[in-house]
């Protein structure tokens, strides 16, 4: 310190800090106004950036005011260096937190735009957040004079020991990254595993894949198992599906008439019911002569997997109603059982047929 602190020094420093605070509040108000306009745009990235800057700007202005105040005070070179390094490190940490928030938000926004669902692949969000925070902390330590080379060496050796101890966890981590990078599974897909588990993929995190089945329960599947098992993805290569409904009519039915009536019902369901595909080309395929009816398959189109239950429900209702109106029968399987009663056998006490009265054998016996 070159001289003693006087009142003028305190007043000047206070004015600098107050000016920084006022500028921070003004910037926050400005960013809040920009946020209202950003919310009206179609891109969600500007909302994330403006929201993050709304937190960074006041702190940056306050730190800048503190730096100006420190420069006006008669501090020694060593104290001034410590203050400047501390303020710089604090600003770096705040900027790092803001950058991590922005990057994680942008990654989540990209994941949402690609999958079209509210959930996102948090494994990428967490990885990017950890990377940004690690880099920011290392830069802040370097700013305050802490050498990071020994720290990186220690982290390397310790990381090897941690990797050996957490082989299963790391296997799930890299399996999740591989699943998302190869686009095998993405949030929003409907999948079915060879073990019977099925549902919509809600999230793929660093350890598990979360699947929500149709009963609204969550199924937790380790990423390693998901990468190794046989799986059917009902969303790729496209979300639209073709479903099959089995129908049968009586042998007395006019098959041309049956086909036309069925196609009319399919067209009405595809047009009227939510989840149908109006441009789907309906098809009726007769394939089997059954015991009591002629069987055929009706091919319907649905927008996505869960729509098939609603479409089947409405199609069967309408088809049954239309068949009754047109007089087309849907016979139930029947069996005809015939019972044949044999002629009763004579008992030992009954005379044999050749010994009955009036027969030649009886007359011959009586004449002896």
Identify the three-state secondary structure at position 289. strand
**Nearest Cα residue to 72 out of 15, 24, 18:** 15
Q: Exposure of 368 by Cβ count < 10 A (0-12 exposed, 13-18 middle, 19+ buried)?
A: exposed
Calpha distance 118→212 (Å, rounded): 13
Contact in structure between 72 and 5 (CB atoms under 8 Å): no
The per-residue pLDDT string of the chain (368 residues; one tens digit each, 9 = 90 and over) reads: 455 665 666 777 788 778 877 887 787 778 777 777 667 777 766 677 777 777 777 777 877 778 777 777 776 777 777 777 777 777 788 888 888 877 777 777 766 565 444 345 666 677 778 888 888 887 777 777 777 777 667 666 666 666 565 666 777 777 887 887 777 888 888 998 988 888 998 888 878 888 998 888 999 988 888 888 888 888 888 888 888 999 999 999 999 999 999 999 999 999 888 888 888 888 999 999 988 899 999 999 898 888 889 999 999 999 999 999 999 988 877 666 777 666 666 655 555 555 555 444 444 444 43
Measure the CA angle with vertex 168, ends 166 and 169; round to 5°: 65
Calpha distance 103→98 (Å, rounded): 9
């Amino acid at each position: 310190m070159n001289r003693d602190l006087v009142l003028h020094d305190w007043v000047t420093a206070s004015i600098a800090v107050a000016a920084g605070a006022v500028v921070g509040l003004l910037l926050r108000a400005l960013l809040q106004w920009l946020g209202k306009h950003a919310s009206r745009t179609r891109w969600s990235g500007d909302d994330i950036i403006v929201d993050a800057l709304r937190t960074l700007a006041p702190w940056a202005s306050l730190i800048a005011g503190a730096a100006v105040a420190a420069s006006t005070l008669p501090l020694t070179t060593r104290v001034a260096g410590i203050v400047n390094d501390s303020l710089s490190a604090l600003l770096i940490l705040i900027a790092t937190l803001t950058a991590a928030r922005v990057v994680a938000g942008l990654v989540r926004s990209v994941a949402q735009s690609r999958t079209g669902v509210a959930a996102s692949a948090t494994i990428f969000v967490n990885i990017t957040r950890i990377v940004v925070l690690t880099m920011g902390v290392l830069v802040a330590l370097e700013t305050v004079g802490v050498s990071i080379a020994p720290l990186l060496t220690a982290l390397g050796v310790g990381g090897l020991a941690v990797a050996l101890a957490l082989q299963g966890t790391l296997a799930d981590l890299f399996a999740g990254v591989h699943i998302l990078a190869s686009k095998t599974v993405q949030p929003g897909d409907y999948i079915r595993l060879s073990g019977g588990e099925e549902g919509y993929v809600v999230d793929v995190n660093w350890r598990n894949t979360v699947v929500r089945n149709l009963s609204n329960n969550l199924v937790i599947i380790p990423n390693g198992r998901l990468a190794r098992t046989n799986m059917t993805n009902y969303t790729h290569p496209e979300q639209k599906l073709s479903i099959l409904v089995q129908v049968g009519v009586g042998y007395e039915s006019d098959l041309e008439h049956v086909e036309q009536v069925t196609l009319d019902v399919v067209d009405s369901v595809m047009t009227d019911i939510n989840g149908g595909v109006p441009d789907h080309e309906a098809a009726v395929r007769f394939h089997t002569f059954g015991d009591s009816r002629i069987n055929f398959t009706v091919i319907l189109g649905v927008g996505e997997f869960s729509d098939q239950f609603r479409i089947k429900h409405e199609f069967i209702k309408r088809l049954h109603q239309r068949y009754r109106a047109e007089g087309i029968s849907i016979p139930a399987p029947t069996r005809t059982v015939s019972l044949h009663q044999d002629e009763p056998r004579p008992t030992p006490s009954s005379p044999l047929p050749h010994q009955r009265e009036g027969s030649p054998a009886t007359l011959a016996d009586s004449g002896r």
